[in-house]
Amino acid sequence: MPELKHFTIESPEDIEQAILDDGGCILDSLLSPDLCDELMSDFLPHIEDASWNNSKYKEDEDFFGLKTIRFHGLASMSDRCSEIIGNEFLLNLASSLLGRGKRCRALRVSTMELMVLGNGQANQQLHRDMDSWAFLDRSREEPLLFSANIALCDFTSTNGATVVVPGSHRWPDERKATETDGCLATMKKGSALLYSGDIVHGGGNNVENAIRTGFYIGFIPSWLSPLENQMVSNKPGVIERLDERVQHLLNVVPGGFTVIP
Ligand SMILES: O=C(O)CCC(=O)C(=O)O
Ligand SMILES: [Fe+2]
């Protein structure tokens, strides 16, 4: 069985190399457990109010599954989102990774999503997040989407830890993953699965009687269209009150976050 390498924030170069070589890795202890608990207490009332498979679109069931709750507009639910959007470590890594091809001079956030899996959620369809921009070819070294799925609780082999197929970011589209190609991104609360938009992955199977919650944030070059319009997904006035730098990252003020040359 393949495995994902684990790192700490002390080794940014090794992390970047692992994302280039394997398509992803796990960063232990990105956020403090206290910050995760605070984020969860902000999100919990919204989760409790929502129904399973809360997408407006029936066809989304096939992709997301039946026992999942997904939210956008996260800045309206928690002021602490700014700490993730402005996280220096993630921004520097995103800047270094996306900047490799010299085709990205500024970056921004594509979307943030809360990914809640409940008891009975089956394995999600395996996919590449880059498929959201289906017209882009994948024959380049650097990713055009760099994502973090931050564990707001422990991700275990029984509560839906993400299934990841290391190396699949370099596979041709027609190659299908078999069961032995994948591994589970098990990790502690506060750790994050860091991955290229080209890697094959999907949410795992939750057989526990507790929810599994991941906080997704994806970074793209500023010339690519973001998936989420934060002015539309958030309540009026919320985004306008955020730091100028965060507003740049959320595409409200033009310019994005300048990539280190
Ligand atoms: O829930 C997860 O761990 C991953 C979900 C995912 O990959 C997606 O919805 O794109
Ligand atoms: Fe995904």
Q: Which domain holds residue 10?
A: 6-258
Dihedrals phi, psi of 165, to nearest 5 degrees: -110, 95
Residue 154 lies in a domain: yes
Ligand 1 atom with least separation from CA of 155: 3
Ligand 1 atom with least separation from CA of 204: 3
**From the CA of 201, how far away is ligand 2's center (Å)?**
6
Residue 114 lies in a domain: yes
CB 186 within 8 A of CB 203: no
Q: CA-CA distance, 160 to 242, in Å (whole number)?
A: 33
Joined together, the tokens standing for residue 256 give 């994005």
Residue 162 lies in a domain: yes
Q: CA-CA distance, 176 to 188, in Å (whole number)?
A: 29
Cβ–ligand 1 contact at 36 (below 6 Å)? no
Ligand 1 atom with least separation from CA of 113: 9
Give, for all 261 residues of the chain, the pLDDT tens digit. 899 999 999 999 999 999 999 999 999 999 999 999 999 999 999 999 999 988 877 778 888 888 999 999 999 999 999 999 999 999 999 999 999 988 899 999 999 999 999 999 999 999 999 999 988 888 888 999 999 999 999 999 999 999 999 999 999 999 999 989 999 999 999 999 999 999 999 999 999 999 999 999 999 999 999 999 999 999 999 999 999 999 999 988 877 777 765
Q: How far apart are the first and last CA of the chain?
A: 38
Residue 23 lies in a domain: yes
Residue 1 lies in a domain: no
Residue 245 lies in a domain: yes
The CATH number that applies at residue 64 is 2.60.120.620
* Residue nearest to ligand 1 atom 2, measured at CA: 203
Distant-in-sequence, close-in-space partners of 217: CB < 8 Å, separation ≥ 6: 84, 85, 90, 109, 111, 112, 147, 148, 150
